[in-house]
A and B are shown apart, each in its own frame.
Chain A
């Protein structure tokens, strides 16, 4: 199962049910003995005395989906993976909400342990997605990835 052509975007926060559903959806894939999951959550960082209440994500969605597909293809070539799931939020996610969900699956643990950081780092550096951090007083600043 390669999930080719999947679209990555989810409106608003990624629900725990979506994550659970992705795990449950692999029950029939009995050759996949190992899954590794990355979940990114919006933090309520305090910046100059103001707390982040939410992040509003925008993107060049068509390109982001195309680049995610490239990263998926490259990762299947580089690692012995059976499936890769990628979801990312678009629109507003309140602090505490999940905004990215990546799950890689393989026969055994070693490959998923190696592949997951690669996939997540490539997504963070190459997807044309832009986060606007909205403070509790409704002022904002543009997120900068570390």
Chain B
């Protein structure tokens, strides 16, 4: 799958970009997190979570969208 990743907050700074397309083989979010780290090892030391269709993905959540948000910890308010 060719997925568009949208990096938010600190992650966009760490990676020097707000988004990118990556070719992905993972089927669920847990595997996808590991696969993202193999593509972008700068994220190894950071905490991040994924969302699709405006919902946070759990490890077992299947990948259904071709656009995925990559979030560092939230810090609103």
- Chain A contacts to B: CB under 8 angstroms: 40, 57-60, 62-64, 66-67, 88, 99-100, 120, 123-132, 142-145
CB of B25, distance to nearest CB on chain A (Å) = 25
Instruction: Please give the number of chain B residues whose Cβ is less than 8 angstroms from any Cβ of chain A in the complex.
Output: 16
Residues of B with Cβ closer than 8 Å to A?
Answer: 6, 8-10, 13, 51, 54-55, 69, 71-77
Which of B8, B54, B73, B74 lies at the interface centre, i.e. has the most chain A CB atoms within 10 A of its CB?
A: B74
Once the chains bind, are A127 and B72 in contact (CB under 8 Å)?
no
Name A59's closest neighbour in chain B (CB-CB).
B76
Chain A facing B: main interface SS: mixed
Q: Is A145's CB under 8 angstroms from B54's CB?
A: no
CB of A44 to closest CB in B, whole Å: 17
Given the interface pairs A63-B51, A130-B10, A142-B9, the reply to whether A57 lies near B76 with Cβ below 8 Å is: yes
**Which of A62, A66, A130, A142 is in CB contact (< 8 Å) with B76?**
A130
Please report the C-alpha to C-alpha distance between residue A126 and residue B75 in the assembled complex, in whole angstroms.
9
Nearest CB in chain B: distance from A54 CB, A: 14
